[in-house]
Structure 1
Amino acid sequence: MTQALRNPPKKDPVARSRQPTRPPGIRSRSALGLTAAAAEGRFELQQCAECGTVQYPPREVCVHCLSEHLPWKPVSPLGKLLVSTTLHHSNDLYFRERLPWRVGTVHMQAGPSVVAHVHGDLADGDDVRLALKLDRSGQAVMLALPIRNTPHMEDDKILRETACDPKFRRALVTDGKSAVGMAVTQALLDAGAAEVFLGDPQLWRKEPAFETLAADPRIKVVPLDVTDTDSLERAAGEYGGKVEILVNTADMEREGGLLHAKDVNTARNLFDINVLGMMRLAHAFGPAMCARAADGTRNAVAWVNVLSIYAQMNLPARAVWSATKAAALSLAQGLRAEMRPSGVRVLNVFPGPLDHEWEQLTPPPRVAPKAVAQAIVGALKDGLEEVYVGDVAKEFRVRLTENPKGLERELGA
């Protein structure tokens, strides 16, 4: 049975931080289909369109009939652990630092046999469920897990290496006075976060709900304005070495299309918060997080961007705001590539229309801030890179694959 993780003691301030290492990250182009599924928490394998054979590992042609038509489809993750072994030696530096490490062979009900990392609560011959997870190199790996959850199973070393669990970690929420920011803060505390640094971008504005939340002893209010480089540098100088999870909830949303909205100042403010704000945050907090990505139990693990589904398809009624979200998404993808060598995961969150003051005239369904917060915590625990929140976002996700031009026309109408 997995031993419960203990709250680690304070780190020796003069002890050197361990340098981040990564597991082997080279994959074929076909194998990147596994990565795409793992990034969104799906379990998919190639299945031959001609004979129905499920493929593993990913291939260019079917192992049975040599067909080239191998679409990715959801398949049963159930199987049986045939045999396992515990490694006590490895030539790879990443695994050498984490020995002992358990691997085994699982025969899937869907057909193929796979080599997987094995959870500590499993014994040879047990029925298992497989999961696709992203490792610290950002590539998909197979994990063999118990069919039913076991006590403290999330504290297993292998699961914790592929997740960004907030338990015992310290987080920074950039805009703690927004509805989403307050909901995320409470969700992180409920998930076991040791401490939350709660950004206050407007010290002069009193918010009763914010004051009530800030009374929790696990919360430290931090003056933090993403439009002010000096504010970010002061916050990073004091707290940058303690942040293991950063959640960027800063957002400015305004109505208006493009042709008749001639207020360039509003557009400039939108870009200043939604796009340049992320750049300033990355400059201030990114290097320290990357340097602490292998720092024991309290290592830096995740950077979260709360974007919008309209980052992927412009909403003409809010054309400029949608453009800022698209630009922020592009920056986030660049940030992900730069942070990947350290193992820090960049999670992009795409909610549908939010249930807050700037969406009062938007018809249902709208997404409650609490739902966004719960989705973020769930995605951190699962180690995801992309999460879609709400019915609108999930529908758009499908339609962007099937008929993006049709979606564009409907939004424009």
Structure 2
Amino acid sequence: MTDPIVRPPKKDPQKVTRPPELPPLQRSRAALAMSAAASRGAFELQCCKACGAWMYPARDACPECLSVDLAWKPAPDGGEVIAETTIRTTVDLYFRQRTPWRVAMVKLDCGPSVVCHLHGDVEVPGRVRMTAQLDKGGNAVIMALPAKRTPNMADDPELRELTASPKHRRVLVTDGRSAVGQAVVEALVNAGAALVFVGIAEPWKPYPGEDRLKAHENVQTFAFDLTDTTSVQDLAGEIGGKTDILINTADHVRPGGILSAPGMITAKDSFDVNVFGLQRLAQAFGPGMVGRGADGTNSAAAFLDVLPVYALANTPDFGIHSATAAARLSMLQCLRSEMRAGGVRVMSVFTGPIEDDWRQPVPPPKVAPGQIAKAVIAALEGGIEDSFVGDVAKDVATRFRQDAKVLERELGA
């Protein structure tokens, strides 16, 4: 069984920080579809529409009937380990830093045999549950997990490399005044985070939940104004080298579209917090996190943003807010490419309408802060790049993948 990881001792500043290396990056265009599915936490394989055969690795034609009509579909995740080995030496720089590394040949219930990463708790021969994870380079890899959950399962070194678990890591939550931010802090403490840094705008003003937030021993609050470049840079200078995971929960919400918006000042405030605030965070904390992407147990692991699902398509009732969300999403896509060099994941947690003061007129279903916090932890522990919280967010995401233009018409109506 996997031994539980222990909190690492304070790092010796004179020791060399291990430079981040990436696993092999080359993938075919067909194989990238599997990475897209894995980014949403789905295990999908190609299936031939003509004969129904499942296949792996990705192909351009069915090996059974030569049809080119192939579709990516959720696949049965059961399988049987038929062989395993442990790699102890390799010329690949990424794996050389992480050996020993366990791999296996698994016969899937749906047909194909695959070579995959093997969790340390799997007994050979034995049943396994297959999962598709994103590696440090952002590509999908397959890992065989125990068929039933085992103690300390998430602490397996190979699985931890494929996730961004907050256990024993130091996390910055940017907005501790909001209900969402406070719920995320509570969830991180329960998930085993070593320290949770919490940004508080205008800390001289009292706010609901302040006493409970400060009651946690491993929570530290800091004065932090996301609209002030100096404030962001000062905090990065103080804790940037310690931040392993950054979670942005700040969100400036006001109702109104382009013609019905209260005015340019409100629009500027929204962009300053939601878009330029994200940019300030990335520029202040990003370089340090990229440099610490391979720094042992508490290496820099993830940059996560909580944003509305209307980043995918504008809802006119909150048109300006939707526009800032779309800009955030585009910025995250750029940031994901830039931070990949250090093996740091950039994650998005898309939410439906949140139950708060600004969205009281919005009809249900709405999302509670606790749901968002639970989704944030699930995304980190599962290494999921894009998560969707609530019925509205999941419905919008499904319709967006079907036809973005139809969704635009539906939301606009």
Scaled by the length of structure 1, the TM-score of the pair is 0.99
Q: How does 1:6-155 map to 2 (within 5 A)?
A: 6-155=6-155
Cα distance in 1 for partners of 2:404, 2:281 equals 32
2:255–2:261 CA contact under 8 A, matched in 1: no
CA drift at 1:211? 2.7
Aligned to 1:269: 269
Cα distance in 1 for partners of 2:335, 2:401 equals 24
Aligned to 2:371: 371
CA drift at 1:402? 2.1
Cα distance in 1 for partners of 2:406, 2:295 equals 48
AA partner of residue 184 (structure 1):
V
Count matched residues: 413
Q: Deviations over 1:111-165 (max 9, x none)?
A: 0000001111112210111110011111000101100011111111110000100
Cα distance in 1 for partners of 2:268, 2:32 equals 38
CA drift at 1:262? 5.9
Aligned to 2:159: 159
2:256–2:262 CA contact under 8 A, matched in 1: no
Cα distance in 2 for partners of 1:241, 1:228 equals 20
The answer to whether residue 358 in structure 2 is matched with residue 351 in structure 1 is no
Aligned to 1:184: 184
Q: How does 1:333-412 map to 2 (within 5 A)?
A: 333-412=333-412
Cα distance in 2 for partners of 1:261, 1:399 equals 27
Cα distance in 2 for partners of 1:412, 1:54 equals 40
3-state SS of 1:217 partner:
coil
Q: Deviations over 1:5-38 (max 9, x none)?
A: 1111111122221100111011000001110111
CA drift at 1:186? 0.4
CA drift at 1:403? 3.5
CA drift at 1:318? 1.2
Cα distance in 2 for partners of 1:261, 1:20 equals 46
Q: How does 1:287-302 map to 2 (within 5 A)?
A: 287-302=287-302
Which deviates more, 96-105 or 120-129? 120-129
Percent sequence identity over aligned pairs: 50
Unaligned runs of 5+ in 1: none
What is the CA RMSD across the aligned residues, in angstroms?
0.9
3-state SS of 1:122 partner:
coil
3-state SS of 1:80 partner:
strand
Aligned to 2:240: 240
Q: Deviations over 1:293-319 (max 9, x none)?
A: 111101000000111110001011111
Cα distance in 2 for partners of 1:3, 1:357 equals 46
Cα distance in 1 for partners of 2:102, 2:402 equals 40
Cα distance in 2 for partners of 1:104, 1:93 equals 21
Unaligned runs of 5+ in 2: none
3-state SS of 1:381 partner:
helix
Change (3 A) 1:309 1:14: same
AA partner of residue 75 (structure 1):
A
Aligned to 1:314: 314
Q: Deviations over 1:163-211 (max 9, x none)?
A: 1000010000001111110010000011000110010012132013023
